[in-house]
């Protein structure tokens, strides 16, 4: 794992976890690693940048206060490129906090407080983002947990549970597409937003099975850059796009509105399961 000069990773070894470990850094409140049952479950690029002001490629980036270019600020917001405060280090939870200042208000003129809670348990990792409006006026935002899941080979990876869901295809300027009636496969660049997903998803990768659940988030984003787009990414090695898929708990299509004093929480839960046919 690359050394982060801006914030040394913090580690958790939850009780009863059979050797599971989680590593995260206060830079961006970014989860870097989750090892469970002897395998790394998150993907972190060997060429990920840990320079101040640069987003880390891999792990679980926090997307706030805007998803992609859906707002006037920097792509995917600023939360992933700021140092957060570490306020709790376990043994069962990491908790990071981040609040507005003059720098954030220059691109998004609202007063807020954010928390990211990282809660590992045996065979399970819950990551929860809380946003509170601490100003005098309502504001709206979009957000996501941009989770990079490690896979043996993207060509053999399937996402189950979206077969009956329509989606917006971001590789075609957001065109609306009807359900595919089949698991999601990764045969080229894929970038989809699935609205109003209410049930757990499952990712299969050979012998591995991962269940993905969400709380508070209404949408799911599924992404892999494919060969051509990945070739232009300086923080990915040649062929590294084969090693991950992103399945993101997100609130994209309908912004979340908070009145003064209100708070919202969205979470993603990853659970390692046994395959029924194993």
| Active-site residue set | 146, 248
- Are 79 and 29 within 8 A, CB to CB? yes
The backbone region for 28, taken as left when phi is positive above 0, alpha when psi lies in -120 to 50, beta otherwise, is: left
Helix then strand then coil, in percent of the chain rounded to 5, is 10, 45, 45
The backbone region for 218, taken as left when phi is positive above 0, alpha when psi lies in -120 to 50, beta otherwise, is: alpha
Per-residue 3-state assignment (H helix, E strand, C coil) for 171-200:
HHCCEEECCCCCCEECCCCEEEEECCCCCC
The first and second tokens of residue 63, run together, are 């997307």
- Are 83 and 7 within 8 A, CB to CB? yes
3-state secondary structure of 52: coil
The first and second tokens of residue 16, run together, are 């009863």
């Amino acid at each position: 794992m690359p050394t982060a000069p801006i914030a040394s990773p913090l580690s958790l070894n939850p009780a009863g976890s059979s050797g599971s470990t989680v590593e995260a850094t206060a830079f961006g409140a970014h989860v870097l690693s989750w090892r469970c049952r002897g395998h790394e479950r998150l993907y972190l690029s060997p060429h990920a940048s840990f320079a101040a002001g640069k987003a880390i490629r891999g792990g679980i980036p926090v997307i706030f206060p805007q998803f992609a270019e859906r707002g006037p600020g920097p792509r995917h917001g600023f939360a992933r490129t700021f140092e957060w405060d570490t306020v709790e280090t376990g043994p069962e939870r990491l908790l990071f906090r981040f609040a507005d200042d003059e720098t954030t208000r220059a691109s998004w003129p609202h007063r807020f407080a954010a928390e990211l809670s990282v809660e590992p348990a045996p065979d399970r990792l819950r990551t929860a983002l809380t946003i509170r409006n601490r100003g005098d006026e309502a504001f709206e935002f979009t957000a996501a947990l941009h989770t990079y899941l490690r896979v043996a080979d993207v060509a053999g990876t399937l996402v189950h549970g979206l077969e009956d869901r329509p989606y917006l295809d971001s590789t075609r300027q957001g065109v609306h597409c009807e359900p595919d009636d089949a698991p999601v496969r990764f045969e080229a660049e894929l970038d989809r937003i699935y609205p109003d997903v209410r049930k757990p998803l499952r990712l299969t990768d050979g012998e591995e099975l991962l269940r993905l659940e969400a709380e508070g988030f209404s949408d799911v984003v599924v992404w892999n850059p494919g060969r051509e787009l990945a070739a232009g990414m300086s923080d990915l090695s040649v062929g590294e796009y084969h090693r991950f898929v992103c399945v993101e708990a997100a609130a994209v299509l309908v912004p979340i509105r908070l009145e003064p004093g209100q708070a919202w929480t969205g979470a993603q839960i990853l659970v390692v399961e046994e395959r029924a046919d194993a």
